[in-house]
């Protein structure tokens, strides 16, 4: 389905509300992505400039192996991944998130003060936060593919990636397709084409960057998408600092609901499985595109994987409760 892989134009029209009353220039999807990426990089450089002099901080490792190890790190520059490099290759490859003074911390988020650190993996006794980060990251990858999938003549708008429970059976991303595609129903071949694009991103081993930005910066970055602007305002109102967490892999920038995995290569089996039309008060038709994935280090028997694929095709919601009669998934369904 090569026809679904060509970049298309994205333009909201004058009736939409924007950050300012000045007309927003017509940009292609690639140009919008480049603009967001540049603004993200610019803000990251600005934040790094807040640490003009190298200050040292002490990071004490309190994990099971090498307990009590103390690292002398650079404030505002060093990350949990940097600390993992001082421990072993295993810690670098297996650590999904860190606990910094008991707080969930992404592997590439800079450390800002002396602290205690430990690392979280998919094999931990309680992998809830790791699994949530994985699901979140899979949805973000799906959003990137959907934004880039259609011809230039079609208008495609990303709405959001709902924070659905892992045990719901699928992650998802809500999207509005061009009105010309209202009667289009994706075939298995279409979904397989999306899946192929996902695996290209996985093989690129792209890191998930993280940045907390002021609401004004976030509004500028997402000025071409009214749905994202609404999310930015909502997120900013939910914390006292008025900031919004953004994540980036490659040149794709999105608003985050929380921590992400370190790199796209942490994904193993991954398949885009379904697309559902949603009932909404919005005039546009919103579709929920869904998928299923497992981390690269967690493998399932093919029969179990196919049963999970079947279940992932059912519409998932943010408040769906899990039916407790799924013998085939047992402990493996924790992801």
Q: Which residues contact 13 (CB under 8 A, 6 or more apart)?
A: none
Tell which residue, 259, 265, 264, has the closest CA to residue 249: 264
* Three-state helix/strand/coil letters over 97-154: EEEECCEEEECCCCCCCCEEEEEECCCCCCCHHHHHHHHHHHHHHHHHHHHHCCCECC
Mean pLDDT by 10 residues, the chain (335 residues): 40 37 63 92 94 92 86 95 95 96 97 96 94 97 94 84 93 91 91 97 97 96 95 89 94 95 97 92 89 92 92 87 38 41
Contacts of 81 (CB under 8 A, 6+ apart): 92, 95, 107, 108, 262
- The pLDDT, as a whole number, for residue 53 is 87
Return d(Cα 231, Cα 167) in angstroms, integer. Answer: 25
| pLDDT number for residue 335 | 44
Distance CA 145, CA 33 (A): 12
Q: What are phi and psi of 132, to 5 degrees?
A: -65, -40
Crossing angle of the two packed helices 128-148 and 29-48, in degrees rounded to 10: 140
Alpha-carbon distances of 260 from 179, 186, 328, rounded to whole Å: 33, 28, 27
Alpha helices (H) along 176-270: 188-203, 215-221, 226-237
Angle at 78 between CA 73 and CA 81, to 5 degrees: 110
Please state at what angle helix 188-203 crosses helix 128-148, rounded to 10 degrees: 110
- pLDDT for res 308: 95
- Cα–Cα distance, 193 to 182 (Å, whole number): 19
Neighbours of 112 (CB within 10 A): 14
- What's the pLDDT at 25? 57
Is the Cβ–Cβ distance between 254 and 140 less than 8 Å? yes
How far apart CA 156 and CA 147 sit, in angstroms, is 6
Run of H or E residues at 32: helix 29-48
* Cα-Cα end-to-end distance for the chain: 30
Q: How far is CA 119 from CA 5, 106, 240, 260, in A?
A: 38, 10, 28, 14
Q: Which tokens in the block code for residue 279?
A: 């009932």
Q: What is the pLDDT of residue 68?
A: 81
- How far is the CA of 186 from the CAs of 44, 132, 153, 191, 197, in angstroms? 38, 27, 18, 7, 15
Q: What is the largest CA-CA distance in the chain?
A: 61
pTM: 0.86
């Amino acid at each position: 389905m090569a026809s679904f892989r060509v970049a298309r134009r994205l333009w909201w029209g004058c009736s939409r509300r924007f950050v300012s009353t000045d007309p927003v220039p017509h940009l292609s999807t690639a140009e919008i992505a480049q603009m967001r990426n540049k603004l993200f990089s610019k803000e990251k450089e600005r934040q790094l400039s807040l640490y003009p002099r190298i200050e040292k901080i002490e990071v004490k490792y309190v994990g099971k192996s090498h307990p009590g190890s103390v690292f002398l790190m650079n404030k505002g520059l060093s990350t949990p991944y940097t600390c993992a490099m001082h421990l072993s290759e295993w810690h670098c490859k297996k650590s999904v998130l860190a606990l910094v003074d008991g707080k969930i911390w992404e592997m590439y988020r800079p450390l800002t003060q002396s602290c205690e650190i430990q690392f979280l993996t998919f094999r931990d006794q309680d992998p809830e936060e790791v699994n949530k980060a994985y699901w979140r990251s899979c949805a973000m990858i799906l959003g990137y593919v959907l934004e880039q999938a259609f011809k230039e003549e079609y208008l495609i708008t990303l709405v959001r990636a709902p924070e659905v429970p892992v045990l719901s059976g699928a992650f998802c991303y809500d999207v509005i397709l061009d009105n010309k595609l209202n009667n289009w129903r994706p075939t298995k071949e279409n979904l397989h084409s999306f899946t192929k694009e996902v695996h290209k991103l996985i093989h690129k081993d792209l890191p998930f960057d993280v940045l907390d930005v002021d609401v004004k910066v976030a509004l500028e970055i997402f000025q071409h998408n009214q749905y994202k602007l609404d999310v930015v305002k909502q997120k900013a109102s939910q914390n006292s600092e008025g900031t919004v967490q953004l994540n980036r892999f490659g040149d794709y920038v999105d608003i985050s609901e929380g921590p992400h995995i370190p790199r796209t290569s942490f994904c193993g089996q991954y398949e885009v499985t379904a697309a559902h039309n949603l009932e909404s008060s919005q005039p546009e038709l919103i579709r929920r595109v869904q998928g299923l994935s497992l981390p690269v280090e967690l493998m399932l028997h093919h029969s179990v994987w196919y049963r999970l694929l079947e279940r992932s095709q059912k519409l998932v919601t943010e408040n769906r409760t899990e039916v407790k009669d799924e013998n085939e998934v047992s402990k493996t369904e924790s992801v």
